[in-house]
Structure 1
Amino acid sequence: MTSVKEFRIEREPTATTLGRGSFVFTDDYSVFDWGKMPDEIPDKGASLCAMGAFNFELLEAAGVPTHYRGVVSEETGEVVPLAETEVPPTEMAIDLTQVPDLPHEGRSYDYDAYHEAAGDNFLIPLEIVFRNSVPVGSSLRRRTDPADHGLDFAEWPEGVVQLEEPIVEFSTKYEEGDRYLSRREADRIAGLADVTELEAVAREVNRVVTEQAAEAELVHEDGKIECLYVDGEVRVADVVGTFDENRFTFHGQQVSKEFVRQYHKRTQPEWVEAVDAAKQEAKKRDVADWKSLCEASPESLDDEVIEAASDLYAAGTNAYVGRELFEAPSLVDAVGAVRDL
């Protein structure tokens, strides 16, 4: 289903009923939409599974419906709450919804066909993005003006802008080159789901994750959710509030996949530039497959970078869930090692 987790199906969903299955989290990673990168990051998969499960359980306790059923115990193979596991899990049990094909010609996508096939039980083909801050490199600065968000700036300031109220946006989910949408277009793509409800769910998820992060002295900068629609209800799907889906900082240092992204920008700028050029060329040619146009490939990371990334994921998860699930350094030490790279 994605480049970093596998998908198991126990029972297929139908037009009227949810199915059952699971995510199996791997140690693969992806940056810049490339897909599977040359290396693995040890314990990354278990970190994402544990952190995602912890957040789903927080959301259920807060009254937010989700597709989560539990984690699969490494010891017994049973589906259990995260607290009942001793070994960090790598498999998450979930309810399954329908995900029809999204037909397209070039970069023109047929969402009407998607919803005709989906009926009343489907994965909403949107990502709902929430931002608690606007860093210097944010795409928001290129696409919008501060006044568009009710901010009292004539233009974006040079430093990070901390937001009193989160900004919520919508982007496509299944297009080869995802793009941000107007609210009206997002509402059309959402089908039977209502964007006002999607926004409200995103804001509640953001609140829960932000408050939990603060318990571990982590600052929750931004993130996203995906949702399914069934029986007239929106439920949170995919995985929520992990170091891949969201950006967190600890005393100013990235504790998320963003660290790996920035490392590639510093050490493999030619590849990063080639990716950007390929995406622009694909847009110009009106084709979806930009990777076939890319003239460079990523190189492997040094062993010390892989080790530092592994410790960061594990230490960050321990701090976030408030439990020593992993044998890892303290978050202070893990962050210090990353900062020295």
Structure 2
Amino acid sequence: MTAYQLGPLLYEGKAKRVFQTDQPDLLAVEFKDEATAFNALKKAELAEKGTLNCRISALLFEHLQHSGVPTHYLGVQGRHWMLVRPVRVIPLEVVIRNVAAGSLCKQMPIEPGTPLDPPLLDLYYKDDAYADPFLSEARLERLALVNSEQRLELEALARQVNTVLLELFARIGLQLVDFKLELGFTADGQLVVADEISPDTCRLWDLDVDDDKDRILDKDRFRQDLGGVIEAYGEVLKRVQGVIQGPSMYG
């Protein structure tokens, strides 16, 4: 195993802590057990949540990489640690919606569960102080977070991720309703998928369950006080492990 020493804390978010290491091309990410919703107005500690999200994310990152999608992922260590490449994260939240749900149905006259073909791609400014607002074309241009070429590359990569994940989740009886991505640039300028991909960042419905509450296997169980959050995340991990070997240990 490649040895490294944990360095200072660089960043702490709602679900993860990011640490520097003694290697300039390596960061260590600790997945926390804290659950949050509604811009952290609702909080709880859920034992094993960090471990489940770390393992699910690692397996999905490995599957994406095997499918030709570049990511920051390098491997896992222990139960809730992921090793990644440093990236300059673009302060944009990329949301892809395959089925109408959540906030979309409050903002548009569209029924929950309506298929969206082609999938809807929305961009949001990632800043808690402004409650992650939706960005129009004019607002995105005003912020100058990406140029026109980078935006096209960003959207193409996000849609590639959606295509890969839709196929994977369908194989294990899950509907990928929608999900959010964070993207960033490596030191050599490569655009990669960063952050995590887990039931915290994806809406996932069990295709074999008709009840609109019981079918939920994602963070909406916490948002809606449905209970069974850890059991739902564990079910997602079990199904993903059934088709993807791993995750790989770093080193």
TM-score bracket relative to the smaller structure: 0.7 to 0.9
1:133 to 90, 99, 113: 99
Per-residue displacement from partner, 1:227-276 (whole Å, max 9, x unpaired)? 11233321111112x10001001124110001110128xxxxxxxxxxxx
Scaled by the length of structure 1, the TM-score of the pair is 0.61
Name segments (4+ residues, structure 1) moved above 2 Å: 138-144, 156-160, 183-193, 230-233
| Counterpart for residue 173 of structure 1 | 126
Q: CA deviation at 1:324?
A: 11
Which letter maps to 2:205?
T
Check the 8 A contact 2:154/2:191 in 1, yes or no. Answer: yes
Q: In structure 1, what is the equivalent of residue 117 of structure 2?
A: 164
Whether the 8 Å contact between 1:43 and 1:313 is mirrored in structure 2 is no
Of 4, 7, 17, which residue of structure 2 is paired with 1:6?
17
Question: How do 1:112-127 and structure 2 match up within 5 A?
Answer: 122-127=88-93
Which residue in 1 is equivalent to 2:137?
Answer: 183
Is the radius of gyration larger for structure 1 or structure 2? 1
Judging by fraction of residues, say which structure has more strand. 2
Q: 2:18 corresponds to which letter in structure 1?
A: F
Query: How many angstroms does 1:141 deviate by?
Result: 4.0
Letter in 1 for 2:202: N
**Structure 2 residue ranges without an equivalent (≥5):** 1-11, 246-251
Equivalent residues in 2 for 1:1-341, closer than 5 Å:
1-11=12-22, 19-34=25-40, 37=43, 39-72=44-77, 74=78, 89-97=79-87, 122-135=88-101, 138-144=102-108, 156-176=109-129, 177-187=131-141, 188-191=143-146, 194-230=150-186, 231-240=188-197, 242-250=198-206, 251-252=209-210, 253-263=215-225, 305=227, 308-322=228-242
Deviations 1:197-249 (A, max 9, x none): 11111111111111111111011000011111233321111112x10001001
- More helix by percentage: 1
Distance change in 2, residues 1:219/1:69 (3 Å): same
Aligned to 1:296: none
Shift in Å, 1:140: 2.7
Check whether the contact 2:105–2:112 (CA below 8 A) recurs between aligned residues: no
Structure 1 unaligned residues grouped into runs of 5+: 14-18, 75-88, 98-121, 145-155, 265-304, 326-341
Shift of 1:33: 1.1
Offset, 1:53: 0.5
Q: Measured at CA, do residues 221 and 158 of structure 1 come closer, stay the same or move farther in structure 2, by a change above 3 Å?
A: closer
The amino acid across from 2:89 in the alignment is L
**Bigger RCO of structures 1 and 2 (CA < 8 A, at least 6 apart):** 2
Q: Tell me the alpha carbon deviations over residues 290-318 of structure 1, each in whole angstroms, 9 at most, x when there is no partner.
A: xxxxxxxxxxxxxxx4xx22222112211
Distance 2:70 2:192 in 1: 5
Q: How many residues align?
A: 224
**% same residue:** 29
- Tell me the distance in 1 between the aligned counterparts of 2:153 and 2:26: 25
1:108-150 Cα distance to aligned partner (Å, 9 max, x none): xxxxxxxxxxxxxx21110110000113xx3334545xxxxxx
CA RMSD of aligned residues (A): 2.4
